[in-house]
Amino acid sequence: MFNDANAVSDISTEFRKFTVDRFIKYARIWTTSNKHSPDMPTTPGQWDLAKELVAELKTIGVTDVTLTDKCYVIGKIPASAGKEHRPTIGFLSHIDTSAEVSGKDVRPQLVESYDGKPITFEGGASLDPAEFPDLAEHSGQSIIHTDGNTLLGADDKAGIAIIMGMVEYFFNHPEVQHGPIEVMFTPDEETGKSLQGFPLETIKSTACYTLDGGPIGELEWECFNAWGAKITFTGLSIHLGTARGKMVNAALMAAVYAAMLPRNESPEATDGYYGYYAPLTIEGNVETASLEIYIRDFDRKEGERRVRALDTFAKAVEAQFPGGKVEVDVKLQYLNMKEKINVYPEVLDILRKAFTNSGVAIHEKPIRGGTDGSRLTQMGIPTPNIFTGGRNYHSRLEWLSVPEMALSCKLVTELVRLWGED
């Protein structure tokens, strides 16, 4: 699991205590977001965790802490004496959890020495190491999993625990020199709204790092280009008994449109650097219907090709349904952060050195999705993504590696120390 055998003993004593209890506490707070809500944050439970983080930062000793009216938590840790001139470095994780599986009444199950056997849940679901090889590799290690009724929330409460652990580490070790640090916790990442009200003007970070990755070693600095489309279908309702030659069925128009999306360009048919169309919701009736579609691709030109194709599909559906109307509304959500991060090579160079110094083999891979870092990079602050140790996100089978979460905490403290060097 680790390059450096010493890393295991280090994390068991020094960094585990900064992360495990925190994560379990955060996981129990209900912070599921709701993409259908117009509010920011979209659910009231996110305030509960935000307020907890503010109180905890102040207890640790951070005096410059802000909770904005949009539920952003921002803490600023001053540099060590003599390091004030070093660049400010930021760390970012999100408060909310996915609505795909319930996040209410989460009961994290801490297993101190996993025995390597299948973990069976009520209802028949199981975490089987035969199906999940990463789990098999954790025999004898500490893990945290769900009780089978909810997700766990490691996405991204493991990231929050890692960042908060890093903050406590530096307050406990004033002898470790560092430059200025900013920590940021955002609402509604899972809804795509996370940075809509972000107070960028208050942030001084030269570079930032999200803690929102998965297994040990993950380093992600390129992501999809992303568009969201709403396709609206307008038909004509007539009594079914006299509908011939008159009715225009908007619900059927939406179904026909969805069927035109190439099946070999779907999330379930692609991986690696291949992009896709992803129809997410379809609803409506005879008179009006709508279809929500995500378009994703690492190659911006390929993504734009798919965007143009949406209009072609619309014309084809209108031709099949005389009198019907199809409107296509597409919005750019975020761009591949690779282009901007390439302009600042030191952001990755120092991170790679932190991996090496922490005894962690680097696994660089593209994000088949996006993070808050994707949006923050687009806003001008290069923001790669770092592993947290979580697996099976957005699932009742979600679980978290305790040693990997702790080692991530060790890595980010080393990252801060390196940025503080002259």
Distance from C-alpha of 346 to C-alpha of 342, rounded to nearest angstrom: 9
CATH architecture of 225-334: 2-Layer Sandwich (3.30)
The token pair at 250 is 């908007």
Q: Where are the beta strands (DSSP E) in 78-224?
A: 89-94, 109-111, 119-120, 126-127, 143-145, 181-186, 207-211, 218-220
Query: Residue 218 catalytic?
Result: no
Choose the catalytic residue: 168, 189, 218, 222. 189
For residue 192, what pLDDT band results from cuts at 50, 70 and 90? confident
Active-site residue flag, 349: no
Q: Give the pLDDT band of residue 125 (cuts 50, 70, 90).
A: confident
Residue 6 has pLDDT above 50, yes or no: no
Higher-pLDDT residue of 375 and 275 is 275
How is the chain split into domains, by residue range?
5-223+336-419, 225-334
Q: State the architecture of 5-223+336-419 in CATH terms.
A: 3-Layer(aba) Sandwich (3.40)
pTM, two decimal places: 0.89
Tokens of 54: 């503010």
The predicted-structure confidence for 56-97, as pLDDT tens digits, reads as follows 999 999 999 999 999 999 999 999 999 999 999 999 999 999
Q: Report pLDDT for 3.
A: 43
10 vs 16: CA distance, rounded Å = 9
The contacts of residue 374 (CB under 8 Å, 6+ apart) are 223, 226, 334, 335, 336, 337, 367, 383
Name the active-site residue from 96, 168, 188, 218.
Answer: 96
pLDDT over 70 (residue 2): no
- Asked if pLDDT for residue 1 goes beyond 80, the answer is no
